[in-house]
Structures are given as C-alpha cells and as structure tokens.
Chains A and B, each alone.
Chain A
Amino acid sequence: MKRIFLVMMSLLMVFSCALAAEKPIKIGAVNPLGDITGDQATKAMKLAVKEINDAGGVLGRPIELIVIDDEMNPAKGAAAIERLATVENVDFFVGGMGSGVHLAQVPILKKYQKITVWIGAASHQAEIAMGPDADWYFHLHPWDYQQGEGYGVGWTEIVHAYPNVKIEKVFLAYEEGAFGTDSYTSYIDLYEAAKRGEGSWKEILKEFKGASFKSASLGGGDYRAMLNQAKAFNPDLFIWAGYDADAIPIVAQAKEVNFQPPLFVGAPPGWPADFGKNPLSENVILYGMWAPTLNEVSPVAKHFYDAYVEMWKEEPATYFAPLGYTNIYFLVEGIKKAGSLDKNAIIEALRTIEYESPLGEVLKIEPSRIIKNQGFKYQKILQWQKGRQEVIWPLELATTQLVYPFKFGK
C-alpha cells in the first residue's frame, strides 16, 4: 500500500513538473488599438511572440501575450495594468504609447513593481513620476529632452558632412497642447544652453523663435498666421511639432504663403497614410526611429519587415511596429540570459544585454536623467525622397544623401 502511494506521489510530482514546464510565461501589453501606433506595435509584438514560440519559447516555456486596449484613455490605461496584474496574473508589463496615459499608469506600476519594458511615453513628466528608484522599469523610447539633444548632435554632424548646409536660425512651430508645448520648452532649454556654450546645439544654433498653432487633430488646421511669422523670421531650419493630421496642410499652406525654408522638418509621432504619395512631401525632413529603407543597411530590419508583411499582409508604417517587436525580443533575451524568472536576475541581465534591433541600432541600457534603465537615446533624421523615407542621420546608417535646400514639389 505504502509502495503504491509513493509511486502515485512520484507520478503526480512528475506530472505537475511537466505541467509547470509548459505553463506559459505571461506578458501583459497595454496599447491603444484604435490608433495605428498601438495597432502596429501590437501586431509586431504578436509576430515576435510567434517567432519565439515557434523556436521553442524561452526557458522551455511558451510566451503568452495578453493585450488590453487603453483607448488612449488614462483611466482605462491604469485599469488595464490593474487587470493584468490581478486577473491575468502576468509576469511582465510591456507596451505603451501616450505620455498622458502612462502618467496615470505609473502609480499602479509602482504598486506591483513587476518588470516593465515600456516603448512609449516620451514626456519627461513620466520620468519624473517614475522616479529614480524603479529599478524594475525599462524605458526604450527616447525622452523628449534626449530627442532635442539628439537632433543637435545630428544637425551638427550634418553641417560638418555637408559644407553647404547652414543652421543658425531655428523656428519651432508647435501645437498648443501638451506635446507641442513640451517640445517648445525643451527647445528653449537647448537654446539657452547653446547661448551659454553648452549642450549639443552650441556649435550651430544662434537664434531661436517659436510660435504655437492649433492642430487639425484638435479642431484647428489654419497655420497661415504662424507660417507668416516663421517667414518673417527667415529661419534656416523650420520644425513643426504637431500631429499626423497637420502634415499635409502645413506644407500646402507654407507653399501658399510662399514660405520655403532651406530645411523643412516635421516632427509628428506618425505620418498620414498617403503622405509619401503627395508631391508636397518631397524633401520634407522628419524625425523618427525607423524607416523601411533601413532594410537596405540592416539585416535585422529587413527580417522584421519581411516577417511582418508576411504575417499581417500590410506594411509596417510607424516606428512603433519595430519598437513593439524590439519590446518583446529585448525582454525575452533578458529572461534567456537570466536563465530563470528571478526578478533581480532578469533586471541585471536586461541591463547588460546588447540587442541588435530592427531599428537599425543596438539597444543598450544606460541611465537617463532620472531613471536607471533607459534604452534608445536619439531619433534619426530622415527625409522624404520620391515617396520613401530615407535615412540621413546617423551618417553610418544613411541610405542616401540629404537633398538641400528644400523646394516644394510640383
């Protein structure tokens, strides 16, 4: 009897071990699915999960991705984290897009302190809210101030590489909401630093001016007064920080008021569906983390692009797609390196791995102003040429030469 009991107990233990081994590692993602950024980031995450599971999973266990739509609503974003932690019992949090939503999520993330790898929320307000002690928090998207610094580095290198390019006067047109005003504040800081002979813009920036506009996304759409101010300032570099809905009307209205700066830069989080097809897009410069043309210089970018198109029968159109893919792979590489689900071991592993991402560069973790675990630092400088986004800077990833000065497409 005793022997039968022991045999049964052993069988039960073996069986439960086998079950545990197959139990998936749960990753909870919160993305705005109604928006192209969240939609494509989620699709890319699912692609990464499929590839990882097809290759045998991690630690011998499959990955399960649970996605909740935050609908770009802070309350829903916060509730999504709560649900993922308590109902779904996820092991990790990933995803993210808007800073406003993330600000509402930060207190909940702090409550559960699970390892979180976040790809959105560029506002430094989110970094302040997260604070310096959250060693479990990894932020991959560059913060707003890092982006401003990065552009200074980029334009300075471009001025050196292209002797005919001059960038002394910069005009920033910014949408009057939080995104635009944060950008303006960042540029003011950079300009003040440049005046003191500090920061990444110090070598080139001599004069700076800004004006706000009401984004078409928020009921505006008439930029002509702002463009006339910019025209009167006669900048070498004109940047507008608004939304994708502003992209075409701003160029069209600039053409209308005959404002043709030598460098015309747009810095929206995403671009309209058919912007590249529009003749007005020709030679417009943009800031972004990725462009499909990176396929020509990065095998990882090409693999991601082809796999995404094959799986979803659509092209990735926003950098949040490769960022979402990176989100999952980076986390899984960390788990793999740690060899267990031990929180401290994974944190340590994530801090030391170097992941070659489809964004064309290697992802390494370094501290930023406040948090300990910051991923990418800079965005890239790209230019629309014949309907394609070409990489201009970093120079080592450049897919073509800068077309200068800017002229309106016919």
Chain B
Amino acid sequence: MRANSPGARGTGLLLVLALLSNACASLGPPPGRGMSLHYTPREATGRAVGPGRVERDARSSTLAAHVAFLGAVNEVSTSSRHVSSELSRLKASVPGIANAGNDIFVRYVDYGERQQRWIDAELAAATRLAIAASEVEDPDTQLALLRLAGPRLEAAMMGSLLLAVWFDFLNLTDTALSRHFQGVETLFMNMDRVQKMLEPAMTALSSLEPQQVEAAAQDVPALLGHLTGEFSVLREAIRKGAEVLQKALALKEAMEALTLLSALSVSLPRLLPRAGPATLGMSFSVGANGMMMGTRMVVSAEWVEMMRQLVRAGVLSVPAVSAAVRIQAGQVMMAEAHGELPRGVREALGDSPEVRGMHVTGKAGAGMAEPPRHHVMPKEFREWFEKRGFTGEMDIDEFCVRLERAHHEAIHGGGDWRLGRIWPGEWNRMIMEALYEAEITAGRMLMRNEVLDIVAYRMERYGIPMEFTRWRGQ
C-alpha cells in the first residue's frame, strides 16, 4: 500500500472520522461502559522501539498508537469544547460575572478563553501531525511523527485540566457574586491570586519545549493540591458569609447546583459535612473495568489502554500520564505529591525500563552538556522544504537529531567521510543529492510524505535513530 495512494489517504481519513464520531472514554468520572474491553496490563507486545523486530508487529503497534493518539486528542477536545461553552455562559452571566463590579471579572473569563485558544491550537496541530503520520508508509516514521506531536498533546491535556479548574473558580465566584455572598473586592483579589498560581504552569505548558512541558506536567498535581486548598477556603468563606447573612438555605441550594468541571470534584473534601480528603489511606488497584481508588473508579479501562499505547510508543511520558491519573484520583493532597504511583499502576500505564530509556536518550549523562542538534533536513535549504509542505508543526526545525559524541568527533576530526563517519556537511550534501535526484527521476516535485520517506530511508542507512527533537537555535 502506497502511503500517498488515494486508498491509504482514505483509510487515514476514515480513521479520523471514526474516532471523531465515536466519543471516546472520558477522563472524568467513570463511564458506565467499557466492560467488554480486555485489559491486560502485562501483555507482552515486544519492544516499543528497536532493531530486528517483525515488520508486521511494528505496523500493528504503530496503528494502535495512532488510534490511541486520535482518541486522546478527541477526548481532550471534547472536554475543551465543554469548558469553552461554559466560559461563554459565564461571560453573559447577569447578575454575576457579566456586570458585577463594573465588569472587572470579565477579564478572568477572557484569561480562560486565551488559554482555551492555545489548547485548541495545539490540539489542531497534533491532529494535523497525526494525519501526516497516516500518510507515510514507514512505521518508524509514523511513530516519529506521533512522538513529535506528543508534547503538544501532553500540554493540551494538562492545560485543559487546569483550565477546568480555572472555570470552577470562576463559576464559584459567579455564584457568590450573583447572590452577594461575598464582597466584590475579596472575590476579585482571590481570582487574581489563583491566576498567579496558574500562570507559570500555563506558560510552561504552552511553551512547547518538551522538557518544560514535562516538568510543568509533573508539577500539576501539586499545583492542583494548592488550588484545592484555595477553593476549599473560598467556599468556606462564602459559607460563613452566608450564615451571617442568614442565607444558609440559599447557599445550600446554590452549592448543590454548582457542578464542578475539574478534578477538584474529587480532590475537595465534601462540603457538608466537612471531612478530610476521602482518598487518604486508600490504595490504587487495577481491574478489568479500569483503575480504582478504594471503591471508586478513577479512570476507565479504555483510558488506561489508550495511555498505555501512547506511553509504550514513546508519545506521552510516564510522569505526565501519572500526573493525570493522580489528578483524577484526587491524590493531589497527599504529602508525596511528587512521588510516584505504585509500580503496578505505572506498569498498567505502560511504564517499563525500555520506555524510561526512550526518554533518557540523548542526554549524555548527568551534568554533561546535551549533544549538539542537527537538522536532518538542512536549514540552508529551508525554502526548498517549505515549498514541499514543511511548514507549521512540520517545519524543518521540528526534525532535528542529537548526534552523539562518536558522530560528533568526526566534525572536529575534519569530517573525512572516507573514515566512514557522519558529519553534518556530508549528511547535508548526501540527503540533498538523494532528494534532487529523486525529483529528477520522478519528473515532478516530491510531496511532503515522499520527502519524509526518503529522509527516513537515508537515516536508517546512516544509523541515525529516528528520534526527533526541536531546534533551539544554538
């Protein structure tokens, strides 16, 4: 099957359509379905990446990763759309946010909408990369493209969790404003404080720098722990204010009507009666229906399976997925907020030494400088590649590799290709020649997926692992 044949493209499109029309397992409270999904945490699927494996296995595991990727994108999109419509509702909420205190609260809705925009932009870029992956034939290249999209999905996933929290604060504030439970100024200052707490994480997530995204993702549970505290204090303050104002009944009603969109709904202590976090001392377990925390379902089996595929394929990182699980489990209040999930749970999510190794690759070791990065598609020919579709999330800057010491020595050694070593100049000359000559042979301009096909083919011949990293302008 040719990657650029109408049939292949049709299949890719069908896949996307099938996933878009099929609502996937939700990250939130457990859906009532999914009983039929066979969940096998320690299923041996062979190596995620590596030499010498059977082509067929590579194809089917790549397909599984592809399906999981689109499923995850779809899920984040769904929750993002929901928050979006809720934000619009709040913006028009009279007598709450829309007109309280001279519209000063509208800026907080606007802030939410700005976050919404970058999350949606990342989801769109991630979808385009997934479609580009479905258009290439080589499973290694497909995986490489999905991995390229990984930080975007990770950022959108964590960003939308935080955005939902932001919405919950806005919503509580709106309730308080419309019923005059608390002073405008106090509520305003409170939102300001919460925004300042969210800001660094949102900035890091939207930076798209993989290391920053990952570090921020790991901090999200702890951040959520602090926000849970804030939320609970705010709610308590509103409750006290209401008592004074003899509005306890109205408050009860209002609080009961308040639906939390975010994971705060699991991490918050119950309002009345008050109690400590319900999750303390309970343990995780992984069962046929999903992941449980005590007797409560945290995430569905479909979600676990989706994440496991993406972790094994190196698209999402174990720490980020663990963070998402901890948030759903309401484990954010626990002292070991930076700690890890139990081993069985991590394994169910696809964690393994090999997978960890994938994310360590490229780092020469503790304290050592990162190996230099090189464009596999030479930047001197940027325009040539742009004409063939390498723009936006497929910009040639996205396709850099780290050349390790042995490769690198050749540069300083004069780069004699007769020594059989790769050096950037040699690679650049060779790859451009292979591409030019292919175009001359084809008698037409190569398409983007064809360029990528040839680049991947040459990378394999030169033993350059297909692990792309972004250019950082050295």
A and B associate: no
Contact residues of A with B, CB < 8 Å?
none
